[in-house]
């Protein structure tokens, strides 16, 4: 990978200047007392058995939903991914045409946030645990499909061609030539998706689709901070455990690292993987049974509520330019904050090891807190609006990006950094020039992808008002305004598709490799 100018990674952090300049204008400080209470409660979470019981129950539901939704999305994603792979179509039928069409069709389910899927399904099939599971499985499945097909099409085809020339049948040749190199990447990626699924399941709960998120929102809204912290601490423990377990499995099974991918063959751990799979299957069944997830119940559609005649002129009269403009502004600020702050914070605390742990802790909290909860907390001291929403989304994504950056920088540029330090360079400059400059391109490429995710996520901070399409959408939902809802969801889908295209171009441009080593898909492509 060609190194980039070292300051590239810090470029997005420039957004801090306008944000810091605007912050005094929107802060009112009325609720500092509440923020103080909230922070103080972190040290003394409620240990009331009743609270613990309901939090543990909620956590169980959230984890179960995440696990089932994740498994569903993987099954769906692998099948659809193979079905939308050009290599597979070309090898089997001689023409890659259908792959492109399936790909385009899959863009639609992917472009709609899981929260919207959840709320839509809620209207169709009623309140039941399966709703959250399917809501996660659909968009995640389409996402996995895209990654799997990208990975498949990026694999070297020499082996495949050799097998075909030798007379092997198309399916057998595909499986033999592409299966082994694909498997570790898919397993590594699916581990990452499980983390995403846990975050999504928590978020869906915040909007009433069951589990711990529900408790979190209700305790926050009733300002019961000790009870809120009981849930947050437990969720943090589960999240860190899951991340540690997945990281351990990834290393154990010789998975490629996150950003600076170095492909290695599966290290004779096939039996372990099969074993893990065999444990997972009955576990999934047990979870489904415990959660009372009934696929059959999903088929009992209730029909939509009797809607009044659609009032399209009222829909057209919505302030569309403002809504879309605010949504884009929110996305850009949040993305720039998240992408820029992660390396900046690491650089700032580099001389002090304790600071590094503080930053890690802060990021863990950022990943953990669903953005709508952060937004509600921010409202205690800030006025509602785009900036408040952007801060909440930026904080959440900073946690995710920061962790990726840390992981990637652990494995790359160690030698350069040590050389710089030995030559007498300060610790910060050594980190910036030694490690970050090599990572700048894949990191920014991932940031471009993350901006696309943030655009989709902007719907969830609609709670803080005046944040564009998201807040309008939540308002339309509580008014049961089907026509507005349809128009807003379509606008969202269109925007995210455009955003996806733009971020793809940005990634390709960033990952352009003049020397021809490494594939553009490698870094940005895998971690979506």
Partner 1 sequence: MPARERWTAALAGLCLTLLPAVLPAQNGGLVPPGLAQQTTQPKPAQAKPAQSKTVLRIGAIPDQNPEKLNRLYGLVADELGRQLGVKVSYVPVTDYAAAVSAFRTGNLDLVWFGGLTGVQASLQKPGAQMIAQRDIDAQFYSVFIANTRSGLKPIQNQKGLAVLKGKRFTFGSESSTSGRLMPQYFLSQAGVKLGDFAGGAPGFSGSHDATIALVQSGAYDAGAVNEQVWKSSLRSGKANRSKVTQIWRTPSYPDYLWLGQPNLDQRFGKGFTAKLRAAIVSWRPSDAEQKRILELFGAQQFTSVKAGEYKKIEQVGRQIGKIR
Residues that bind partner 1 (CB under 8 A): 26, 28, 30-31, 33-34, 122-123, 125-128, 169, 171-172, 207-208, 214, 217-219, 221-224, 281, 285, 294-303, 305-308, 311, 379-381, 383-385, 463, 465-466, 471, 474-475, 477-482
DSSP string over 103-115: HHHHHHHHHS-HH
Query: Minimum distance from CB of 200 to partner 1 (Å)?
Result: 17
Query: Minimum distance from CB of 239 to partner 1 (Å)?
Result: 22
Contact 226, 46 (CB under 8 A): yes
Query: Minimum distance from CB of 309 to partner 1 (Å)?
Result: 9
Query: Minimum distance from CB of 36 to partner 1 (Å)?
Result: 10
| Residue 277 or 351 having the CB closest to partner 1 | 277
**Cα–Cα distance for residue pair 496/64, rounded to 1 Å:** 29
| Residue 125 or 266 having the CB closest to partner 1 | 125
Paired tokens of 503: 């971020």
Helix (H) or strand (E) holding 420: helix 414-422
**Cα–Cα distance for residue pair 184/189, rounded to 1 Å:** 8
Paired tokens of 461: 């901070």
Q: CA torsion angle for 224, 230, 233, 236 (degrees, to 10)?
A: -90
Query: Minimum distance from CB of 21 to partner 1 (Å)?
Result: 17
Query: Minimum distance from CB of 334 to partner 1 (Å)?
Result: 18
The CA-CA-CA angle for residues 477, 481, 483, to 5°, reads 120
Query: Minimum distance from CB of 390 to partner 1 (Å)?
Result: 14
For 518, left (φ over 0), alpha (ψ -120 to 50), or beta? Answer: left
Contact 176, 163 (CB under 8 A): yes
Which single residue is written with the structure tokens 């063959």?
265
| Residue 292 or 501 having the CB closest to partner 1 | 292
Which single residue is written with the structure tokens 């509520």?
305
DSSP string over 125-181: H-S-HHHHHHHHHHHHHHHHHHHHHHHHHHS--HHHHHHHHTT--HHHHHHHHHHHH
The CA-CA-CA angle for residues 446, 448, 450, to 5°, reads 70
| Residue 42 or 125 having the CB closest to partner 1 | 125
Q: Roughly how many angstroms between the first and final C-alpha of the chain, as a whole number?
A: 20
Paired tokens of 528: 């979506």
Q: Around 337, how many Cα atoms within 13 Å sit in the side-chain half-sphere?
A: 26
| Residue 306 or 353 having the CB closest to partner 1 | 306
DSSP state of 527: -
| Residue 303 or 321 having the CB closest to partner 1 | 303
Query: Minimum distance from CB of 357 to partner 1 (Å)?
Result: 32
Query: Minimum distance from CB of 399 to partner 1 (Å)?
Result: 25
| Distances, alpha carbon 111 to alpha carbons 177, 431, 473, 492, 499, in Å | 32, 37, 15, 8, 10
| Residue 382 or 506 having the CB closest to partner 1 | 382
| Residue 56 or 224 having the CB closest to partner 1 | 224
| Residue 75 or 245 having the CB closest to partner 1 | 75
Query: Minimum distance from CB of 202 to partner 1 (Å)?
Result: 14
| Residue 79 or 242 having the CB closest to partner 1 | 79
Cα 367 → chain centroid: 10
């Amino acid at each position: 990978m060609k190194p980039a100018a070292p300051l590239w990674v810090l470029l997005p952090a420039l957004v801090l200047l306008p944000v810091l300049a605007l912050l005094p204008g929107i802060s009112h400080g009325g609720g500092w007392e509440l923020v103080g209470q909230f922070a103080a409660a972190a040290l003394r979470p409620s240990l009331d058995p009743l609270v613990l019981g309901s939090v543990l129950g909620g956590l169980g539901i959230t984890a179960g939903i995440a696990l089932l939704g994740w498994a569903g999305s993987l099954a769906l994603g692998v099948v659809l991914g193979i079905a939308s792979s050009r290599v597979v179509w070309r090898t089997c039928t001689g023409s890659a045409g259908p792959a492109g069409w399936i790909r385009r069709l899959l863009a639609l389910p992917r472009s709609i946030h899981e929260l919207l899927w959840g709320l839509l399904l809620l209207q169709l099939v009623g309140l039941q645990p399966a709703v959250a599971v399917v809501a996660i499985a659909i968009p995640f499945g389409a996402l996995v499909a895209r990654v799997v097909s990208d990975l498949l099409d990026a694999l070297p085809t020499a082996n495949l061609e050799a097998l075909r020339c030798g007379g092997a049948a198309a399916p057998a040749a595909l499986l033999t030539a592409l299966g082994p190199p694909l498997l570790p990447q898919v397993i590594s990626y699916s581990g990452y998706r499980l983390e995403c699924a846990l975050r999504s399941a928590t978020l869906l709960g915040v909007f009433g689709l069951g589990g711990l998120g529900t408790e979190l929102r209700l305790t926050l809204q009733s300002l019961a901070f000790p009870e809120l912290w009981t849930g947050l601490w437990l969720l943090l423990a589960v999240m860190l455990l899951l991340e540690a377990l997945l990281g351990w499995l990834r290393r154990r099974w010789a998975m490629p690292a996150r950003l600076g991918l170095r492909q290695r063959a599966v290290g004779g751990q096939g039996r372990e993987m099969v074993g893990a799979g065999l444990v997972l299957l009955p576990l999934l069944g047990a979870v489904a049974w415990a959660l009372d997830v009934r696929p059959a119940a999903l088929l009992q559609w209730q029909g939509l509520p009797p809607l009044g005649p659609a009032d399209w002129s009222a829909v057209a009269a919505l302030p569309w330019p403002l809504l879309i403009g605010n949504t884009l502004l929110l996305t850009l600020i949040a993305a720039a904050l998240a992408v820029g702050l992660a390396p900046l914070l690491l650089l700032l605390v580099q001389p002090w090891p304790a600071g590094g742990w503080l930053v890690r802790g802060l990021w863990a909290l950022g990943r953990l807190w669903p953005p709508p909860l952060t937004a509600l907390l921010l409202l205690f001291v800030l006025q509602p609006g785009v900036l408040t929403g952007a801060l909440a989304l930026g904080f959440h994504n900073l946690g995710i990006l920061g962790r990726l950056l840390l992981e990637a920088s652990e494995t790359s540029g160690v030698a350069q950094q040590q050389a710089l330090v030995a030559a007498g360079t300060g610790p910060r400059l050594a980190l910036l020039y030694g490690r970050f400059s090599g990572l700048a391109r894949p990191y920014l490429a991932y940031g471009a992808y993350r901006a696309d995710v943030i655009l989709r996520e902007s719907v969830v901070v609609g709670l803080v008002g005046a944040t564009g399409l998201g807040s309008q959408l939540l308002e339309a939902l509580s008014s049961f305004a089907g026509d507005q809802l349809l128009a807003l969801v379509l606008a969202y889908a269109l925007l995210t598709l455009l955003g996806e295209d733009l971020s793809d171009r940005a990634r390709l441009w960033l990952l352009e490799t003049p020397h021809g080593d490494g594939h553009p898909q490698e870094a940005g492509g895998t971690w979506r």
